[in-house]
Amino acid sequence: MATFNWSAPRVVLSSASFDIADQLVGPFNPVVQQTAEGYRMWMNLAFKDGTVEIWHGTSDDGLHYGQLRKAFGPEIFGGRKLRVGSPALLREGDCYRIWFYVFDGRHRRIYTGRSRDGLGVEAVELSIDVGACPPYDNRYTYNPFVLRDRRDGRLRMWRTGWEKWDTSEEVAKGLRPSRHRVIHCWSADGVNWQDHRMVIDMGAEGQHDVLASRLPGNVIQFADGTFELWYSGSYRDEEQDCAVWCIMHALSEDGLNWHSFSMEIPPGFEGGRDAIQSYSPFAIRQQGKVKLWYGGRNKQHQWCILYTEALT
């Protein structure tokens, strides 16, 4: 079970935080950076019409966010795409490298671009197409997280792959597994990626990820070069009679072979706000604490972003 002793979670962003609340399903998939001025958060903002955009906010304390504004969305493709989300940002020099997924109504693919301030993107190009790691991503490849390995300088990506398959037998049993797995690859330039391999299968933890193991989430590399991964697992909750999502944690010496799996945040940890999904974690380690932001989804399918922390 849980490795950390978490504080009571609190909501930091919901649909009510935005001036366009009546148009929204809500925010989720937080990506957080701490700067000298405070905190910056990028997030997915889901709309009732089915579109998803990437939005941005700032905070002095990581809990209270203002200056909420759109960073970018489907308009960068002339509006032909339905959803643009789950950014991974890497600050190098005077600009950001950004990776994000694009959904065109059938497939999700990973694109990359550059940004001066993280509030727009230019020089956009396809980075990873579906089928790069068959069969695990033959329908979707999305939700990337990227870091530069401190040991050899390579860019490394962990992402989600979704395998399309015949679901009739599982649906008949009420299981609805989603065939999401975590895939790893590396790159010298951030555009061309090599050595695609599945590194976390469904059921790696054994109980809370039997239906799916999925990013978005993030990877932290420690000073000794080892890694920890924050991601989401899915399993069937008999009491709620549906598939639910929880937040998972794992460790690795090389970023490929993972162990010490634990379920950290269950569905319903906050109560109603995350009753169905505790999802899309983003963790920062700071001054003896793990600070964790995550997406919560309630039974009415509305999203919000919550925060909890634990001493280490």
Please give the tally of structural domains in the chain: 1
Nearest to 1 by CA among 232, 227, 261: 261
Q: Is 292 among the domain residues?
A: yes
Q: Is 244 exposed, middle or buried (0-12, 13-18, 19+ CB in 10 A)?
A: buried
Query: Which residues constitute the domain of residue 273?
Result: 10-311
Cis peptide before 135 (omega within 30 of 0): yes
Secondary structure of residue 36 in the 3-state scheme: coil
Give the residue carrying structure tokens 């239906």: 211
CA 176 → CA 124, 143, 179, distances in Å? 35, 21, 9
3 in a structural domain: no
Q: What CATH number is given to the structural domain containing 138?
A: 2.115.10.20
* Per-residue pLDDT reduced to its tens digit, 164-195: 765 555 555 555 556 899 999 999 999 999 99
Query: pTM to 2 decimals?
Result: 0.95
Question: What span, in angstroms and rounded, lies between the C-alpha atoms of 162 and 180?
Answer: 5
Q: Residue 146 — pLDDT band, cuts 50, 70, 90?
A: very high
Give domain status of residue 1, yes or no.
no
Share of the chain above pLDDT 90, in %: 88
| Tens digits of residue pLDDT in 252-265 | 999 999 999 999 99
* 267 pLDDT above the threshold of 80: yes
The two beta strands, 65-72 and 52-59, are: antiparallel
56 domain-assigned: yes
